[in-house]
């Protein structure tokens, strides 16, 4: 299992191909995440594209989104399709309170449950995720319509989610149309990582190409930030 525990908040950059993976690697990304921005919040890429991204990411941690399944059986199939691509962990959409009966997680490959902010997730949802076998949990936004994570959930709610993940020993992440200026407030909550795509692209267009200067600036800001959170 990859080292997904870190004393600092790390920068996750979502990439669509190997060229973007190399760009993210060379400009300071801590985690490189394979995702198709043309297919919504959690559009999965083809396995061969994910393999190329993993290879181009060098020594950086890697992940891949596996889609937005309707139930546990479909989630199991989505995860299995990407389990052999060489990434460090997988991410799958998961609704709060979803029945995990029948969910089969890949052996020795950590899986992150992605909860959408529009569904009103909270720290109360985290123990069930741990019980289902997830290695981490994150909140993202389903709609990519200009509204950001904090337009849906307050900092207090997000802090409670991050704290619940720490209490359960899960990696936590926060994402959702984040801008670089969101880093101080969100990093102060102590998540394991902050996830970016649009905020690191030219003109904040998540379907456009990544801007190396924005990646480097995000990495600089997070590297300089030392969160102060109480141990769980």
Residue at 5 is within a domain? no
Q: How many domains does the chain have?
A: 1
Within 13 A of 105's CA, how many CA atoms are on the CB side? 20
The neighbour count for residue 213, using CB atoms within 10 Å, is 11
pLDDT above 90 covers what percent of the chain?
87
State the average pLDDT over residues 209-226: 93
**Residue 1's pLDDT band (boundaries 50, 70, 90)?**
very low
Q: Name the residues annotated as catalytic.
A: 35, 91
pLDDT digits (tens, 9 = 90+) for 5-61: 556 899 999 999 999 999 999 999 999 999 999 998 999 999 999 999 999 999 999
In a 3-state reduction of DSSP, which class is residue 201?
strand
Residue at 204 is within a domain? yes
Residue at 230 is within a domain? no
Task: Considering only CA atoms, give the Rg of the chain.
Answer: 16
In this structure, is the dihedral angle defined by the CA atoms of residues 106, 83, 37 and 13, taken in order, positive or negative? positive
Residue at 177 is within a domain? yes
Residue at 2 is within a domain? no
Domain of residue 89, CATH code: 3.20.20.380
In a 3-state reduction of DSSP, which class is residue 170?
coil
Residue at 143 is within a domain? yes
Q: What is the DSSP annotation of 134-157?
A: -SEEEEE-S--SS--HHHHS-HHH
pTM confidence score = 0.93
Q: How far is CA 213 from the centre of its chain?
A: 21
State the average pLDDT over residues 133-142: 97
Question: Average per-residue pLDDT in the chain?
Answer: 93
The boundaries of the domain holding residue 53 are: 10-224
Give residue 144's pLDDT.
80
| CA distance linking residue 15 with residue 196, whole number of Å | 10
| CA distance linking residue 166 with residue 160, whole number of Å | 10
Residue at 229 is within a domain? no
**Residue 198's pLDDT band (boundaries 50, 70, 90)?**
very high
Residue at 198 is within a domain? yes
CB neighbour list of residue 74: distance below 8 Å, 6 or more residues apart: none
């Amino acid at each position: 299992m990859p080292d997904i525990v870190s004393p600092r908040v790390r920068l996750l950059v979502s990439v669509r191909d190997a060229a973007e993976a190399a760009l993210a690697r060379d400009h300071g990304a801590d985690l490189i995440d394979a995702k198709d921005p043309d297919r919504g919040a959690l559009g999965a890429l083809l396995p061969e594209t994910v393999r190329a991204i993993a290879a181009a990411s060098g020594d950086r941690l890697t992940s891949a989104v596996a889609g937005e399944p309707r139930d546990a059986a479909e989630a199991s199939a989505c995860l299995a399709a990407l389990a052999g691509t060489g990434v460090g962990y997988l991410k799958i959409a998961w609704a709060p309170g979803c029945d995990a009966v029948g969910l089969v997680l890949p052996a020795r490959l950590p899986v992150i449950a992605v909860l959408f902010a529009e569904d009103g997730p909270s720290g109360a949802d985290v123990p069930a995720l741990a019980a289902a076998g997830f290695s981490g949990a994150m909140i993202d936004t389903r709609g990519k319509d200009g509204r950001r994570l904090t337009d849906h959930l307050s900092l207090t709610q997000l802090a409670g989610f991050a704290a619940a993940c720490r209490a359960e020993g899960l990696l936590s992440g926060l994402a959702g149309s984040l801008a670089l200026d969101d880093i101080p407030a969100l990093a102060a909550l102590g998540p394991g990582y902050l996830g970016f795509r649009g905020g690191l692209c030219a003109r904040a267009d998540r379907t456009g190409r990544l801007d190396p200067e924005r990646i480097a600036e995000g990495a600089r800001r997070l590297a300089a930030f030392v969160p102060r959170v109480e141990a769980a």
